[in-house]
Structure 1
Amino acid sequence: MSQSIAANPNRLLPADPGTRSIARDLLQRVQDLPIISPHGHVDAAVIERNTPFPDPAALLVSPDHYVTRLIHASGVPLDRLRQPAASEAGSEGPDSRAVWREFCKAWPLFEGTASGYWLRTQFSSVFGLDRDISAETADASYDAISAKLLEPGFRPRQLFKDFNIEVLATTDDPLDDLASHRAIAEDPTFHGRVLPTFRPDAYLNIAHPAWSANVDRLIAAAGDGGTGYAGYLTALENRRRYFVEHGAVSADHGVRTPATLKLDDADAARLFDRARSGEATAQDRDAFEAHMMYQMARMSVADGLVMTIHPGSYRNHHEQTFEKFGPDTGHDIPFAVNYTEAIRPLLQDFGTAEDFHLVLFTLDETVFSRELAPLAGFYPSVYLGAPWWFLDAPDAMLRFRSAVTETAGFSRSSGFIDDTRAFCSIPARHDASRRIEASFLARLVAEHRVSEERAHELIVDIVDGSPRRVFKL
């Protein structure tokens, strides 16, 4: 097994020696700053209960759709990599060591990928593996990581401290009681912030199979005795207020498109009633979701929650995989989006509203320079979401900076967003982002477009100032 390159201090930095030297100085300026993670998917209960991590495969392979999708593309069936969905009654998942062997055999597939970079960094810096994994050493690496997972100091709370995480936001159902968040906040021995995030997709999208049942529960729990569309809006407002009271700073929306639409109450109520009766068309679905995005912006102006929009993913592209393994199993595929026209109804009323923050993400990087940078360069409310999902990779992050900076500068972006369920990958992802920002700024310094002194100020603001400012931390 070959020596790992994960410990090389020049990884991801420019190849030119002079520019690399500038980048290393910039990186040193921010390398030890705390991690601010304002959008992610780690379960707060893992932190609250300080639950030991499972075996290597269950921690690093099976739940990670970045990993399983690429191995699946090479011809390995998913049932050799992950558990079937709960609906697959009586089915048994694969043995963890067997999954790990499949992963190690497939390791060469990950060269050049973002997930390969993150994993290699984790193996080196978190688990202490100083050589690359391979098919031949699968059992040895499995045993080494398993031993690490058994160490008393290798628990979520200690790693939270070791990773230098200051803020970690989760993603939560509107009816979650947030008991884990409350327990963490009240624990005097825990130093850090674990913040809930209001994620109402399953209550706004009438195409969701559980939408009507979700609405029933929502209105019953928080509608203040109201019914119909009015009770629905009241319940959403009340639950948002509950989240704010428990430390939430943002509401996140994983919508199909960024469309927004302003309807009067009567038209919105008619759409709502059609959906409740099961008579809504696909056009009704799109119109109602677009209107509810407008309503979410209205509520954000009132309650102060930052509004983040993550559109442009064709969810569950392969029906057989969805039926057997469920959602978030590697077959969500990006598609092109239109922001300029789609977001305009919302921005007409709220684009200049005081203290309204709207963070726009995309999986379609063609809109970075054409639409998003110009929007963020005019509207005080609009901020550029960091490269997300398929774009949170070194070259794509450099393309993002090149695409948006000349129009919107550095101050209109969100700071890095790790957007991950993989707790142990958080420091690797933030380290990669800091290296890319240092590389981009070093080039501007080398080309005499930004002074070195100013670049040092900028990188601190990008890494630390922007996420605090944009997410009101």
Structure 2
Amino acid sequence: MKTFINDHFLLQSDFAKTLYHDYAKPLPIIDYHNHLSPLQIDKNTSFDNITQVWLYGDHYKWRAMRAYGIDEKYITGNASDKEKFLKWAEVVPYTLRNPLYHWTHLELQRYFGINELLTPNNAEKIYDQCSELLANKSHTTCGLLKQQNVESLCTTDDPIDDLKHHKNIAESDKKVQVFPTFRPDKAYAVEDSKAYNSYVKSLEKSVGFAINNYDDLLLALENRINYFDSHGCKLSDHGLEQLSFFPQKKYDLTKLFETVKSGKSLSKEEVQFFKAETLLALGKFYHKKGWTQQLHLGPIRDNNKRLLQQLGPDTGFDSIGDFSQAIGLSGFLNALDSTNQLTKTIVYNLNPADNEVIATMVGNFNDGKIKGKVQFGAAWWFLDQKDGMEKQLNTLSSLGLLSCFVGMLTDSRSFLSFPRHEYFRRILCNLIANDVVHGELPNDEKWLGKIVSDICYHNAKNYFQFKSK
């Protein structure tokens, strides 16, 4: 059967079509948060088949396959790549109304020119067709990025990373710009003293000196921030259940660090205090560099302990949490702002119940010095689907300034995920056009076209200030 995705997919009015085709579609992509492999971009990796580029590491698809009753052998197990693809094709028709149904057919069409719906009947033919195209230069990692007009992207990198692949890319003739993002979650993960001490040893190797106390830890992290900055880094990122904040300095950080170094465990509150204080110190370092800090709040990770032991983390067993976010976030932002050390900040929530909380909280800390200095981040993870995007856009519009928004990102490990920007752009254009159709906005194409263009590209370009090659 022919695909339902045509030129006007998700565009419900002539005005929406104009906004999308004339203003949003032609713009390059700035993907300022993803989990792509810089090594694969550096080496301009080729893929043997579509399973390697499409199903490896994609926990969205893995969750759907498990829900449909597919054996783990065909998900993360030892089945052949072709067998895994054929099993995924069995599931696709039953993902209707899940974003995977839209993404699957967008990606097949945009990268491989396939205008059919994927079913078990045509799966083998499509597998062969895609695998044949993946052998061409147009479908290497760099070729796939070029196809989607990706101008720049930011990977997610641990402080101990040597960034050699980013350096190689920057010095090459590759058109895409690839910048690192500083993700120091392991540097304050003191809830597991054994794992933490192992990490500190790795950090010591990166900085070239011993980390004997808490001050040494901060010195090491600042050292790595300087190193990342010298490689073009403009963003940090933090994955947290929630932010904690302590108005009083309740514990001695030096003693807490010594306790962990000795292999002993901290109490839950001591762990929270250590993380809160370290995040504040990092926030001040980021401000000094003019970076943007990203705060991803709200997941419960690794819920299924049995399958975590079998398969490891990031395999599809995370979910939305219901943590209280307002008080800790307020305290954290206020503590940095009170000393004028609050850097540009983007806050993402995973629980949609927190939309209004986050949208109003970030507005407290915009001080007129930078356009959109503190942002309510794009719909993230479980929310980066049509309903979640519309809710985020509507909340931001109602309680903040949609016109200052820095737009969408993929947050993906797949080189085939960039049609998510198209998906977002179509949803955005349709949302604004519907207001025009209903008489809630003036029918002013140039003005609204500029707003759309800013959200899709120009706001991010001006906000992050990535250096050109």
TM-score, L = length of structure 1: 0.91
Question: How many Å separate the matches in 1 of 2:271 and 2:341?
Answer: 31
Q: Deviations over 1:65-90 (max 9, x none)?
A: 1001011012223232114xxxxxxx
Q: What per-residue deviation string (whole Å, max 9, x for no partner) do you get for residues 82-127 of structure 1?
A: 14xxxxxxxxx21111111111111112211112211111111211
Supply the distance in 1 between the matched residues of 2:41 and 2:113 (Cα, whole angstroms). Answer: 22
Residue from 193, 214, 218 that aligns with 1:229: 214
- Equivalent residue for 2:9? 11
Match of 1:39 in 2: 33
- Distance in 1 (CA, whole Å) between partners of 2:95 and 2:258 is 49
Instruction: State the Cα distance separating 1:327 from its structure 2 match.
Output: 0.9
Offset of 1:402 from its aligned partner? 1.3
Measured after TM superposition, the shift of residue 450 of structure 1 is 2.8
Q: Is the 8 A contact 1:359 1:414 kept in 2?
A: no
Change (3 A) 1:69 1:266: closer
2:191–2:266 Cα contact (<8 Å) kept:
no
SS in 1 for 2:139: coil
How many pairs were matched up?
454
SS of equivalent to 2:182: coil
Equivalent positions of 1:48-447 (< 5 A) are: 48-83=42-77, 93-187=78-172, 189-208=173-192, 210-222=195-207, 224=209, 227-261=212-246, 264=249, 267-277=252-262, 278-351=264-337, 353=340, 356-369=343-356, 371-380=357-366, 381-426=373-418, 428-447=419-438
Residue by residue over 1:175-219, the C-alpha shift from the partner in whole angstroms, topping out at 9 and shown as x without a partner, is 1110000011011x2122100011111121113562211112213
Distance 1:150 1:262 in 2: 58
Choose which of 452, 455, 459 in structure 2 pairs with 1:462: 455
Matched letter for residue 322 of structure 2: A
The 1:97–1:461 alpha-carbon spacing in structure 2 relative to 1, beyond 3 Å, is same
Match of 2:14 among 21, 27, 36: 21
Q: Distance in 2 between matches of 1:43 and 1:263?
A: 41
Q: For the Cα contact (< 8 Å) 1:351–1:382, is it kept in 2?
A: no
- What is the alpha-carbon distance in structure 2 between the residues aligned to residue 183 and residue 265 of structure 1? 46
CA distance in 1 between partners of 2:42 and 2:314 (Å): 24
SS in 1 for 2:17: helix
Residue type matched to 2:2 in 1? Q
The 8 Å contact of residues 336 and 342 in structure 2, kept in 1 or not, is answered as: no
Is 1:297–1:346's contact at 8 Å kept on the other side of the alignment?
A: no
Unaligned runs of 5+ in 2: 367-372
Q: Percent identity?
A: 26
1:376·1:412 contact (CA, 8 Å) conserved in 2?
A: no
User: Would the alpha carbon gap of residues 412 and 206 (structure 1) be closer, same or farther in structure 2, given more than 3 Å must change?
Assistant: farther
Measured after TM superposition, the shift of residue 263 of structure 1 is 6.5
CA distance, structure 2, for counterparts of residue 263 and residue 34 of structure 1: 47
1:255 CA drift (Å): 1.4
- Report which stretch shifted further, 205-214 or 386-395: 205-214
Deviation of 1:225 (Å): 5.1
Tell me the secondary structure at the aligned position of residue 310 of structure 1.
strand
Distance 2:247 2:176 in 1: 39
SS at match of 1:396: helix
Q: Shift of the alpha carbon at 1:166?
A: 0.5
Deviation at 1:293, TM superposition (A): 1.9
Deviations 1:316-345 (A, max 9, x none): 110111111111111101112333201122
Q: Distance in 2 between matches of 1:321 and 1:276?
A: 30
Displacement of 1:161 after TM fit? 2.0
Contact 1:260 1:294 in 2 (8 A): no
The Cα shift of 1:226 comes to: 5.4
User: Match for 1:192: what amino acid?
Assistant: V
2:402 is paired with a residue whose SS is coil
Q: Taking structure 1 as reference, are residues 458 and 281 closer, same or farther at Cα in structure 2, changes over 3 Å only?
A: same
Question: Residues 333-376 of structure 1, C-alpha deviation per residue, up to 9 Å, x if partnerless?
Answer: 1112333201122222323737711110011111212x112123
Amino acid in the other structure paired with 2:186:
A
